[in-house]
Structure 1
Amino acid sequence: MSNVSSIMNAKSTSEDINTGLDEGLRKDISKTLSDVLGASYRLMIKSHVYHWNVVGPLFKPLHELTEEHYEDLFAAIDVIAERVRALGNVAPYTIGNASEFAPDGKEVEHLTAIDMVDDLIAEHEAICRKMREAAEKAGDNKDMVTEDLMTERLAFHEKAIWMLRATASE
């Protein structure tokens, strides 16, 4: 019974972590990663909504591309949250009002495929800016793991921007 008690009372705080990154830095980087996480959720939801609702001549390529994107984003969200935990902080458990993440239903009904692409490009670009900030902060403070994670994610988002632009070009 004492083993169960000790497991149930295990520490979940970050004060005992000694990996070469001080607690203040780990908290700061975790906050930045949490911002990236929220933006990633927003983009995942928008990509999924647009996947369901795109119509017109770009239906098939955009339907397939947005599916690839929301599946990748879903997996990435888990990796980013796990990095926050590895830094000794609680992964975000509230991400604001999720209803604000998706476009308004009336908007979606009247958006063209090009409108959707433009919106997704803007979201990907915004995440790129957040990720560059996170990567720079991490790199400047010798957190190579976070820097590498952000570099890997940046590659995905920059490729997504290129593919979206190519899909919608005339």
Structure 2
Amino acid sequence: MKTNIGISAENREVVAHQLATLLADEFVLYTKTLNAHWNLEGMDFHSVHLYFEELYKQSAEIVDDIAERIRQLGHYAPATLKSFLELTHLTEHDAGGNDSRSLIKKLLADHESIIEFIRGNIDEFADAHKDAGTSDYITGLMEKHEKIAWMLRAHIK
């Protein structure tokens, strides 16, 4: 059935593609957060392990929300590891420590990368593609990432 939500098919396609990239970034970040949760070592293991659990649960919700937003625009969400790796801006972790400081620094860099990507699309979605709904949605998502980044930064100061 045709999607008729007041946004042209061309604009919905562009926005859905950018959201697919964001979805890939978020899925890779989710996986990296699971890695941090599972493989953390050190004296602060218990508290940071629980914190990483909160983060990966929040990431799972974000992944689902973005995929559903893509569907609301009348497109299919990418849903394979291959497609996520082709679309993402993020990279796999290099070998480095499994201590909390090392893992937090890596996760922080990824959150900041996602913040920059989102910030670069907010006005474009609203102005160039006439999609105020997605612009508003990613603004809220950016604010979530900014709060997480602040908290991660506070752990390593």
Q: Scaled by the length of structure 1, what TM-score is found?
A: 0.80
Q: Structure 1 residue 61: deviation in Å?
A: 3.1
Q: Deviations over 1:39-64 (max 9, x none)?
A: 00111111111011112233233212
Q: Which has the larger radius of gyration?
A: 1
State the percentage of identical aligned residues: 32
Q: What is the match of residue 74 of structure 1? A: 60
Q: What is the match of residue 137 of structure 1? A: 124
Gaps of 5+ in 1: 1-10
Q: Structure 1 residue 98: deviation in Å?
A: 6.8
Q: What is the match of residue 111 of structure 2? A: 124
Q: What is the match of residue 157 of structure 1? A: 145
Q: Scaled by the length of structure 2, what TM-score is found?
A: 0.86
Q: Please give the secondary structure, in 1, of the residue aligned with 2:82.
A: coil
> How far apart are the structure 2 equivalents of 1:81 and 1:53?
28
> How far apart are the structure 2 equivalents of 1:143 and 1:62?
38
Q: Structure 1 residue 144: deviation in Å?
A: 1.8
> What are the within-5 Å matches in structure 2 for residues 19-168 of structure 1?
19-96=5-82, 103=93, 107=95, 110-140=97-127, 141-168=129-156
2:37–2:52 contact (8 Å) kept in structure 1 = yes
Gaps of 5+ in 2: none
- More displaced, 51-60 or 119-128? 51-60
